Amino acid sequence: MGKHPRPTNILLHKQSRVLAVDFDDGSHFDLPCEYLRVFSPSAEVRGHGPGQEVLQHGKENVGIDQIEPQGSYAVRLYFDDGHNTGIYSWETLYELGQNYDEFWQAYLNRLSQAGRHRRPTNTGITVTVTPPTPKIPGT
């Protein structure tokens, strides 16, 4: 295994709008499409420098239409709202998975500060984070 964990399986659950990602360190992340969309690594979302981020809102029901490999280091996600400029490296997907609770709460706080609110959805999505299993020498 290299410096950063690499995915061993990526599975899109279209109906529940969740991208399930397994990594070679044993981690598993179920990442809602809305979460992936509002944290897109694209310049459109993150800007070209600090302080240029654009708050994404109204993405509660966004889905993913297509996943396109980008060499052996990333995927491009094609969202059904037309957004497709984010390249999600393995490191980015792992970071989004590991930090879901913190990042999502910060996003909800930014929405509130901007006077925006999420519309209720009927998906009942639960995000599951499975930390890596410690490796025992000699097993």
Q: 7-130: which CATH topology?
A: NE0471 N-terminal domain-like (3.30.2020)
- Given a cut of 60, is residue 63 above it in pLDDT? yes
CA distance 71 to 109: 35
Going from N- to C-terminal start, the domains of the chain cover 7-130
pTM of the model: 0.83
- Given a cut of 90, is residue 118 above it in pLDDT? no
CA distance 96 to 108: 15
If one compares 45 and 105, the residue with the highest pLDDT of the two is 105
Question: How does the average pLDDT of the chain come out, rounded?
Answer: 88
pLDDT computed for residue 88 by the predictor: 98
Render pLDDT for 12-21 as a digit per residue (tens, 0 to 9).
999 999 999 9
